[in-house]
Amino acid sequence: MSIAEGTRPRHVPDRLASRPARILRSWELLLTVIAILIFLANTQASPYFLDPWNLSDATFNFTEKAMIAFAMALLIIAGEIDLSVAGIIALASTAMGWALQYGAGMPVLVLIGLGVGLVCGAFNGLLVTRLGLPSIVVTIGTMSLFRGISYIVLGDQAFNGYPSDFAFFGRGYVFWVISFELVLFAVLAVIYGVVLHATNFGRQIYAIGNNATAATFSGIRVARVKMILFLLTGLMSGIAAICLTARLGSTRPSIAFAWELEVVTMVVLGGVSILGGAGSILGVVIAALIMGMVTFGLGLLNVPGIVMSIFIGALLIGVIALPRLIRLVRTGKAA
């Protein structure tokens, strides 16, 4: 029974070859329509929704998660996954809080946040690329390990008292209602969009995700690209940790708990194939907006967070199931 071991379960459809970019485009169109519908529903549901400051507050629902989602999208397109991102946030935040106890100032805190993110990403990347372990299992392990270290350090305690110049990363506004986080989100979206869709490196990511063996044959250094992607995901988690810690003003080991699932949901909702090889940054951006609006709109209606998660879960399954359901009814075959 030892057939095909070591390979990820993957039945990559020749999506890009057989049905050109049309499907991808229509996916983003579908998402845009949904986003507009949700926006309209929100304006009808609550008179407070259109207030600029309210809308500005709403962006905090997705900016930090979306930053990670960009890197995660690249990683998933390349056929890997990182479930430890929320664990990295917890560890990076704990390291920053720990340094704070020794009087570290804003620049040091930022460097520590970024550094811990990179080290964690490197740890995941080395385990996956050097030892050839499946990333889903490795990162389930490091998820517990990273957050576990936070629990060892902090227990039921918390770190407080972050300096005010550090708080800018989470609470600062660049212009009127435009927060620093929102600007960072937009800048990162553009950078990731360009990297994925307009560079050699981006094409390599798609090639690896569609067929890693063929990519190797065409001279792509698969392990190196994957390593870079794990480093990027770690770095983005570090950046998210800085923003989130600055916004909350405190560190608890339960910080960003279960965010990995929301980040993956955002990426998949954005049309990135969980099997690798297909997806776009634009899709992820729209998915981030959708998730942010759903959360915020329901929040204005006093719907508790746990109930919102039903909507997010249903949205995830519904959006993916709908086209397949239509195909099933029409042709009798789902895929």
Partner 1 sequence: MKQFITSREAILLAALVALILLVETRFSGFAAPGNLASVFNDTSILIMLALGQTLVILTRCIDLSQASNLALTGMVTAMINAAMPGVPVVALISIAVALGLLMGAFNGLLVWKLDIPPIVVTLGTLTIYRGIIFVVSGGAWVNSHEMSAAYKAFPRAEFLTLPVLSWIALAVIAGFAILVNRTALGRAFFAVGGNPSAAVYTGIDVGRTRFMAFVIAGGLAGLCGYLWVSRYAVAYTDVAGGFELDIVAACVIGGISIAGGLGSVTGAVLGALFLGTIKNALPVAGISPFWQMAISGAAIIIAVAFNRRKDPGRVILKEPAQ
Residues that bind partner 1 (CB under 8 A): 1-9, 11, 127, 130-134, 136-138, 140-149, 151-152, 154-156, 212-213, 216-217, 221-224, 253, 258, 261, 264-265, 268, 274-275, 304, 306-310, 312-314, 316-317, 320-321, 324-325, 328, 334-335
Let me know: does 143 contact 86? Beta carbons within 8 Å.
yes
Enter the tokens of residue 275.
Answer: 């099997």
How many whole angstroms separate alpha carbon 76 and alpha carbon 117?
A: 18
How many whole angstroms separate alpha carbon 296 and alpha carbon 121?
A: 31
| Nearest residue (CB) to partner 1, 50 versus 258 | 258
Let me know: does 87 contact 145? Beta carbons within 8 Å.
yes
Residue 284 Cβ, how far from partner 1 at the closest point, in Å?
A: 15
Helix runs in 105-221, H state only? 106-129, 135-154, 164-171, 180-198, 200-210, 212-217
| Nearest residue (CB) to partner 1, 190 versus 314 | 314
Residue 317 Cβ, how far from partner 1 at the closest point, in Å?
A: 4
| Nearest residue (CB) to partner 1, 5 versus 47 | 5
Q: What residues contact 335, with CB distance under 8 A and at least 6 apart?
A: 13, 324, 327
| Nearest residue (CB) to partner 1, 6 versus 47 | 6
Give residue for tokens 């407070």.
48
Residue 160 Cβ, how far from partner 1 at the closest point, in Å?
A: 19
How many whole angstroms separate alpha carbon 28 and alpha carbon 279?
A: 10
| Nearest residue (CB) to partner 1, 268 versus 288 | 268
How many whole angstroms separate alpha carbon 137 and alpha carbon 148?
A: 16
Residue 277 Cβ, how far from partner 1 at the closest point, in Å?
A: 13
Residue 169 Cβ, how far from partner 1 at the closest point, in Å?
A: 27
Residue 310 Cβ, how far from partner 1 at the closest point, in Å?
A: 3
| Nearest residue (CB) to partner 1, 63 versus 265 | 265
Beta bridge partners of 97: none
